[in-house]
Amino acid sequence: MAVLQHTPISLQSPKSPVSARIPRTLTHSLSFSTAFPSLRLKLRLFVSNGKGGARMSSAAAGSYALALADVSKSKNTLDTTSADIEKIEKIFSDQQVYDFFVNPTIDEEKKRKVIDEISASSGLQPHTTNFLNILVDGKRIDLIQEIVKEFEVVYNKLTDTEVAVVSSVVKLESHHLAQIAKQVQKLTGAKNVRIKTLIDPSLLAGFTVSKF
């Protein structure tokens, strides 16, 4: 089975290192003392077209991601926000964390307290933290994984970043990945290149490069 590795090699401006911490325990007695500035999001209005909720959820996730990118761009913190999103992706990949936030029996105040702890331990920016609070208050935190994916798409467009997936039988050395990134940059003309690695035992030898 192919396994996508989450640590990319990049040819782009450096971003803040990813350091995501999950609270030791998701208890109901965490303190909440930091007030974050309000974040106004201009989101599209959606009307059901009778084709199910999946398309609506995808559209909503895209709009949330675009709104966060717009705020980040206006604050000139797009790269730092992208690093925040990587931390959030890592945190919410923990099933215990995700289940806690989507649990309807736990009130929003308790969820905001946990977000405060996550923000403090992971060093999230205030507007990123407030964005998570907005998702909690709007009962849209269940979209967080889709929002993470959509934000990457928006970020790549705004920064002219090409993402390529390198599939190989064994893990490639970093200098080999750097060479591949340079070739991708040369072929695509993209300003930045990010390489994601995929271990694929079905390959006989060598490696393949595909667009993400």
pLDDT of residue 17: 43
Residue 194 to residue 180: CA distance in whole angstroms: 10
Question: How far is residue 128 from each of residues 32, 158, 211, measured CA to CA in Å?
Answer: 16, 18, 29
Question: How far is residue 201 from each of residues 7, 159, 171, measured CA to CA in Å?
Answer: 19, 33, 11
> What average pLDDT does the segment 187-208 reach?
87
CATH for the 14-158 domain, from 3.40.1010.10, 1.10.520.20, 3.30.10.20, 2.40.30.10: 1.10.520.20
pLDDT of residue 71: 95
| pLDDT level of residue 10 (50, 70, 90 thresholds) | low
Amino acid at 10: S
Instruction: Please give the helix or strand (H or E) that residue 212 lies within, else none.
Output: none
- pLDDT tens digits, 73-96: 999 999 999 999 999 999 999 999
- Number of alpha carbons in the 13 Å side-chain half-sphere of residue 183: 10
pLDDT of residue 49: 43
**Beta-bridge partners for 192:** 161
What is the pLDDT of the chain when averaged over all its residues? 80
Residue 177 to residue 9: CA distance in whole angstroms: 7
3-state SS assignment for residue 211: strand
Name, in order, each residue with C-beta under 8 angstroms of 16's C-beta and a sequence gap of 6 or more.
79, 80, 83, 123
Percent of the chain at pLDDT above 90? 53
pLDDT of residue 34: 33
pLDDT of residue 62: 94
The structure's pTM equals: 0.68
Name, in order, each residue with C-beta under 8 angstroms of 29's C-beta and a sequence gap of 6 or more.
none
- pLDDT tens digits, 17-38: 444 555 544 433 333 333 333 3
Residue 148 vs residue 188, higher pLDDT: 148
> What average pLDDT does the segment 152-156 reach?
94
Q: List the Cα angle 135/139/144 in 5-degree steps.
A: 50
Q: What are 92's two structure tokens? A: 């919410």
Is there a contact between 161 and 152 (Cβ–Cβ < 8 Å)?
no
- pLDDT tens digits, 94-123: 999 999 999 999 999 999 999 999 999 999
In the chain, where does the domain assigned CATH 1.10.520.20 lie?
14-158
| pLDDT level of residue 204 (50, 70, 90 thresholds) | confident
pLDDT of residue 53: 55
Residue 189 to residue 67: CA distance in whole angstroms: 28
